[in-house]
Amino acid sequence: MSQLVIKNLQVGVETESGMTEILRGVDLTINSGEVHAIMGPNGSGKSTLAYSIAGHPKYTITGGSVTLDGADVLEMSVDERAKAGLFLAMQYPVEVPGVSVANFLRTAATALRGEAPKVRTWVGEVKEAMGKLAMDPAFSERNVNEGFSGGEKKRHEILQMELLKPKIAILDETDSGLDVDALRIVSEGVNRVKADQNLGIMLITHYTRILRYIKPDFVHVFAGGKIVEEGGPELAERLEEKGYAQYVKA
Amino acid sequence: MSVLPTNYLTPTGREEAWRFTPLKRIAGLHDPATNVADRISIALSGAIRPGFSIDKVKATDLPAKSSTDDAVVQRVRAVVSEVTHLQIAKEALVSEPIILTRSTGNQSEFSRTVITAGAHSKATVIVENSGNATLGEEIEIRLEAGSNLTFITLQEWSENSVHLGRHHAIVGRDATFNSITVTVGGSLVRLLPTVEYSDQGGSAELLGLYFATDGQHLEHRVHVEHGIPNAKSRVTYKGVLAGDQARTVWIGDVFIRGNAEGTDTYELNKNLLLTDGARADSVPNLEIETGEIVGAGHASTTGRFDDEQLFYLMSRGIPMADARRLVIRGFFTEIINKIGIEEIEDRLMSRIDTQLERVGA
* DSSP secondary structure of A44-113: SSHHHHHHHHHT-TTEEEEEEEEEETTEEGGGS-HHHHHHHTEEEE-SSPPPEEEEEHHHHHHHHHHHHH
| Contact yes or no for A112 and B316 at CB 8 A | yes
| Contact yes or no for A96 and B327 at CB 8 A | yes
E strand map for chain B: 37-38, 42-44, 52-58, 82-88, 98-102, 108-117, 122-131, 134-143, 148-157, 162-171, 176-183, 188-197, 203-212, 217-226, 232-241, 247-256, 264-273, 279-288, 295-304
| pLDDT of B47 over the 60 cut | yes
> Is B361 part of any domain?
no
B350 three-state secondary structure: helix
Percent residues over pLDDT 70 in chain A? 99
A165 CA: distance to closest CA in chain B (Å):
11
| pLDDT of B212 over the 50 cut | yes
pTM: 0.88
> Is B353 part of any domain?
no
Percent residues over pLDDT 70 in chain B? 99
Query: Which range marks the domain in which residue B43 is found?
Result: 16-305
Summarised one tens digit per residue, pLDDT across range B248-284 is 999 999 999 999 999 999 999 999 999 889 999 999 9
CB pairs < 8 Å spanning A and B: 82
How many Cα neighbours within 13 Å face the side chain of B97?
19
pLDDT band at B299 (very low <50, low <70, confident <90, very high): very high
> Is B314 part of any domain?
no
How far apart are alpha carbons B267 and A235 in whole angstroms?
Answer: 57
Given the DSSP bridges, would you call strands B37-38 and B264-273 parallel, antiparallel or unpaired? unpaired
Given the DSSP bridges, would you call strands B232-241 and B264-273 parallel, antiparallel or unpaired? parallel
Summarised one tens digit per residue, pLDDT across range B81-92 is 999 999 999 999
**Contact with chain A for residue B331, Cβ under 8 A:** yes
Summarised one tens digit per residue, pLDDT across range A165-210 is 999 999 999 998 899 999 999 999 999 999 999 999 999 998 899 9
Phi then psi dihedrals of residue A188, to 5 deg: -60, -40
How far apart are alpha carbons A28 and A41 in whole angstroms?
Answer: 19
**Contact with chain A for residue B23, Cβ under 8 A:** no
The pLDDT value recorded for residue A250 is: 46
Residue B118 identity (one-letter amino acid):
G
Of the candidate ranges A3-7, B20-24, B73-77, B325-329, the one whose mean pLDDT is the lowest: B325-329
Question: If you average pLDDT over every residue of chain B, what do you get?
Answer: 94
> Is B310 part of any domain?
no
The pLDDT value recorded for residue A104 is: 97
Nearest CB partner across the interface for A93, out of B312, B320, B331:
B312
Of the candidate ranges A41-45, B98-102, B189-193, B248-252, the one whose mean pLDDT is the lowest: A41-45
pLDDT band at B109 (very low <50, low <70, confident <90, very high): very high
Question: If you average pLDDT over every residue of chain A, what do you get?
Answer: 94
| Contact yes or no for A98 and B319 at CB 8 A | no
The pLDDT value recorded for residue B105 is: 75
Q: What distance lies between CA B88 and its chain's CA centroid?
A: 21
- Global ipTM: 0.96
B125 CA: distance to closest CA in chain A (Å):
26
CB-CB contact of B76 with B66 (8 Å): no
Q: Residues B305-311: what's their mean pLDDT?
A: 92
Determine how many CB atoms are found less than 10 A away from the CB of residue A195.
10
CB-CB contact of A36 with A5 (8 Å): no
> Is B266 part of any domain?
yes
Nearest CB partner across the interface for A82, out of B317, B329, B333:
B317
**Contact with chain A for residue B330, Cβ under 8 A:** yes
**Over the Cα atoms of chain A, what is R_g?**
18
| Contact yes or no for B327 and A99 at CB 8 A | yes
Domain count, chain B: 1
A108 CA: distance to closest CA in chain B (Å):
6
| pLDDT of B36 over the 70 cut | yes
> Is B103 part of any domain?
yes
| pLDDT of B361 over the 70 cut | no
Summarised one tens digit per residue, pLDDT across range B113-148 is 999 999 999 999 999 999 999 999 999 999 999 999
CA distances in angstroms from A204 to A47, A89, A168, A216, B251, listed in the order given: 8, 10, 13, 11, 49
CB-CB contact of B155 with B127 (8 Å): no
| pLDDT of A249 over the 80 cut | no
B361 three-state secondary structure: coil
| pLDDT of B356 over the 90 cut | no
> Is B54 part of any domain?
yes
The pLDDT value recorded for residue B2 is: 61
> Is B332 part of any domain?
no
